[in-house]
């Protein structure tokens, strides 16, 4: 009876084919994938465990002592890396499947533990003092090596974000920017990341990593340009933001990458709205009317583009 109703709803257009297939699978009590949910739980579990380690160290540092804390962190670190090196497939410049579902997250735990341990060492013993930023560079180099050795995009994202931290610190010391200025160093970083991802792609080295490089670079550069619009450092930031947004939207549609379309739409909409509403009370009738109308148009446009992507896939 339920399946017949679902079939009628599909024929009437009340539900899509994808929705019909998903619901009917549950009704017939067939097996269905929970791969995404399991991955999300594992990711949250690793982050929670690492956060718990940090909390325990902060609260009980005087009780446990340096030797106990460093020994515990080292055991977790070595156990994680031993597990990964002993079970991983041989290195390949192409894509390599993980040996099991939890493998990537054990590696991620090892990387987070490494970060906690060197952070603890520096906070307690001041080994590098004013040159502490080299910890970021060392960590980034390690994470890049592990990401390519074990074909892990989670660790690659961690490496890119750690490199961004080191990049920002070094450029501030070189005097390339000051205070809260974010635009120039972030855009230089984004250009470096895009160039590195493109160079590795052309040499057939983990070509499936290229999109991760582009995602990180796009978000960093968009945030930097939007920051420039908000700070009104220069009127060049707004046209640059719109130009990059157009490239992201066109490229996303052409190469079937919906995330880049979303980046282009949301960041350009935010920048234009800020400029148009600058000096206008946010609770005024004009501002509320603009936000309601423009927001609705943006949502409709994104839904239309998303449906096109869904049809193509």
Q: Does position 268 have pLDDT exceeding 90, yes or no?
A: yes
| The pLDDT value given to residue 284 | 86
Least-confidence region, from 15-24, 28-37, 69-78, 102-111: 28-37
| The pLDDT value given to residue 129 | 77
- pLDDT-derived band at 117 (thresholds 50, 70, 90) equals very high
Of 214, 222, 168, nearest to 195 (Cα)? 214
Mean pLDDT, residues 132-159: 94
| The pLDDT value given to residue 313 | 47
Residue 213, number of CB atoms within 10 A of its CB: 22
State the helix-helix crossing angle for 103-125 and 35-64, rounded to 10 degrees. Answer: 20
**Top-confidence residue, 247 or 61:** 247
- pLDDT-derived band at 214 (thresholds 50, 70, 90) equals very high
Give pLDDT tens digits for 287-298. Answer: 899 999 999 999
Task: Kindly report the average pLDDT of the chain as a whole number.
Answer: 86
| The pLDDT value given to residue 80 | 96
Question: Cβ neighbours of residue 45 under 8 Å, at least 6 residues apart?
Answer: 105
């Amino acid at each position: 009876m339920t399946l017949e109703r679902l079939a009628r709803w599909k024929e009437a257009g009340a539900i899509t084919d994808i929705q019909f297939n998903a619901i009917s699978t549950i009704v017939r009590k067939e097996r269905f994938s929970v791969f995404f949910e399991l991955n999300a739980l594992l990711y949250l579990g690793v982050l929670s465990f690492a956060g718990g380690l940090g909390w325990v160290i902060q609260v009980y540092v005087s009780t446990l002592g340096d030797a106990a804390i460093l020994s515990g962190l080292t055991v977790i670190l070595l156990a994680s890396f031993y597990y990964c090196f002993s079970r991983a497939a041989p290195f390949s410049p192409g894509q390599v499947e993980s040996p099991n579902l939890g493998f990537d997250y054990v590696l991620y735990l090892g990387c987070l533990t490494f970060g906690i341990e060197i952070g603890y060492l520096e906070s307690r013993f001041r080994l590098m003092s004013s040159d502490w930023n080299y910890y970021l560079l060392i960590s980034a180099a390690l994470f890049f090596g592990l990401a390519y050795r074990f074909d892990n995009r989670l660790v690659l994202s961690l490496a890119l974000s750690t490199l961004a931290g080191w990049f920002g610190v070094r450029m501030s010391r070189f005097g390339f920017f000051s205070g809260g200025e974010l635009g120039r160093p972030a855009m230089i970083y984004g250009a470096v990341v895009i160039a590195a991802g493109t160079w590795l792609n052309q040499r057939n080295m983990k070509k499936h990593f290229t999109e991760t490089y582009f995602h990180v670079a796009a978000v960093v550069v968009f945030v930097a340009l939007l920051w420039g619009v908000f700070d009104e450092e220069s009127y060049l930031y707004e046209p640059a933001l719109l130009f990059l947004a157009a490239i992201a939207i066109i490229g996303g549609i052409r190469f079937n990458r919906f995330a880049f379309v979303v980046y282009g739409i949301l960041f350009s909409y935010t920048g234009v709205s800020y400029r148009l509403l600058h000096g206008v009370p946010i609770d005024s009738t004009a501002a509320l009317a603009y936000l309601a109308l423009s927001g609705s148009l943006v949502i409709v446009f994104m839904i239309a583009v998303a449906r096109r992507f869904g049809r193509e896939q």
